[in-house]
């Protein structure tokens, strides 16, 4: 474990936040998890417990590992509870204004040497860093979803990120047993710059009537050997998140090839955001998912 990082704070107890807390605790770090509502923190802790139990049943960890990891995760009901953390990772919704507001609230509570990271999947690290009191100790640590399963973490330096912050973050990722890939600070970084336009193109193929939901997903699973089809994957990511990443790419790179598909916009406007709302490109309300087009 890195000597620089012992205590981790996670802001956001949702899917990404509780996943980051889960893998950090398993790796031996003391973790404090914070969210706006106490209820969300408790829900996040319950999810971590459930996911650790699943790993015990599948033989990936032992019951002792689970108990030890759970003992290391503590609720932080206020930002002041993060004051002793060496690294605080923000894992809130993919919205710049929300993230800036979080940083403005948490920075005064942090000790001077603490590092601050964002789990953003597409927003400029340099721009987010500039809204904090520690741009040289700010970095992008982008985990993939679902965190306990996925092996990759993207590390993104902002223009001001110091070498010490970068090296400590790299050591932290290695201690989690994950593989780090380093990306330059451009919209979407590496994974989403490639993945999201592919998903967006699949939605255009549906929108233009070239293929049905089932035809598109089957084609990419069996024809390109993808583990899941692009529309199924979009539902898993969340269509609102897909749209916000496409908007960041479109605005940040000013290239028409990144224009979000109007059908994606329509689904988001309908509140059909994928699995989390039980409807997206598939309807999840029955026994088995049924295509909605």
CA 46 to mean position of chain CA atoms: 19
Q: Is position 154 annotated as part of the catalytic site?
A: yes
Q: Is 121 a catalytic residue?
A: yes
Q: Can you tell me the distance from the alpha carbon of 227 to that of 221, in angstroms, rounded to the nearest whole number? A: 6
Contacts of residue 260, Cβ cutoff 8 Å, sequence gap at least 6: 200, 243, 246, 247, 250
Q: How many residues make up the chain in this entry? A: 293
Q: Token digits for 232?
A: 């199924």
Catalytic residue selected from 22, 24, 154, 169: 154
Out of 51, 121, 183, 244, the active site residue is: 121
Whether 192 is a known active-site residue: answer: yes
Spot the catalytic one: 142, 169, 183, 244.
142
Mark whether 142 is an active-site residue: yes
Can you tell me the distance from the alpha carbon of 251 to that of 131, in angstroms, rounded to the nearest whole number? Answer: 20
The residue from 124, 192, 200, 244 that is catalytic is: 192
DSSP characters for the chain?
--SS--EEEEE--SHHHHHHHHHHHHTT-EEEEE-SSHHHHHHHHHHHHHHHHHHHHTTSS-HHHHHHHHHHEEE--SGGGGTT-SEEEE---S-HHHHHHHHHHHGGGS-TT-EEEE--SSS-HHHHHHTSS-GGGEEEEEEPSSTTT--EEEEEE-TT--HHHHHHHHHHHHHTT-EEEEE-SSTTTTHHHHHHHHHHHHHHHHHTTSS-HHHHHHHHHHHS--SS-HHHHHHHH-HHHHHHHHHHHHHHH--GGGPPPHHHHHHHHHT--BGGGTBSSEE-SSSS-EE--
Active site residues: 121, 142, 154, 192
């Amino acid at each position: 474990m890195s000597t620089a990082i012992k205590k981790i704070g996670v802001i956001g107890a949702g899917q990404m936040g509780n996943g980051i807390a889960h893998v950090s605790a398993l790796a031996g770090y003391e973790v404090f998890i914070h969210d706006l509502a106490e209820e969300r923190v408790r829900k996040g802790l319950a999810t971590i417990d459930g996911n650790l139990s699943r790993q015990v049943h599948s033989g990936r960890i032992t019951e002792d590992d689970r108990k030890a990891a759970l003992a290391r995760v503590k609720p932080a009901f206020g930002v002041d509870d993060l004051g002793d953390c060496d690294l605080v990772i923000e894992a809130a919704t993919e919205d710049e204004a929300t993230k800036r507001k979080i940083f403005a609230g948490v920075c005064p509570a942090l000790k001077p040497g603490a590092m601050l990271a964002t789990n953003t999947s597409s927003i400029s690290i340099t721009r987010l860093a500039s809204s904090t009191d520690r741009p040289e100790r700010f970095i992008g640590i982008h985990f993939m979803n679902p965190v306990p399963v996925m092996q990759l973490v993207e590390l993104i330096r902002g223009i001001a990120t110091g070498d010490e912050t970068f090296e400590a973050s790299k050591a932290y990722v290695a201690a989690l047993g994950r593989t780090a890939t380093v990306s330059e600070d451009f919209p979407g970084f590496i994974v989403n710059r490639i993945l999201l336009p592919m998903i967006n193109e699949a939605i255009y193929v549906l929108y233009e009537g070239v293929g049905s939901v089932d035809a598109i997903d089957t084609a990419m699973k069996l024809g390109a050997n993808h583990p899941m089809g692009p529309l199924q994957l979009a539902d898993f990511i969340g269509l609102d998140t897909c749209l916000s990443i496409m908007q960041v790419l479109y605005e940040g790179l000013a290239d028409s090839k990144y224009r979000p598909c109007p059908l994606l916009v329509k689904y988001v406007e309908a509140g059909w955001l994928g699995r989390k709302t039980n409807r997206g490109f598939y309807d999840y309300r029955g026994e088995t998912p049924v295509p909605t087009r």
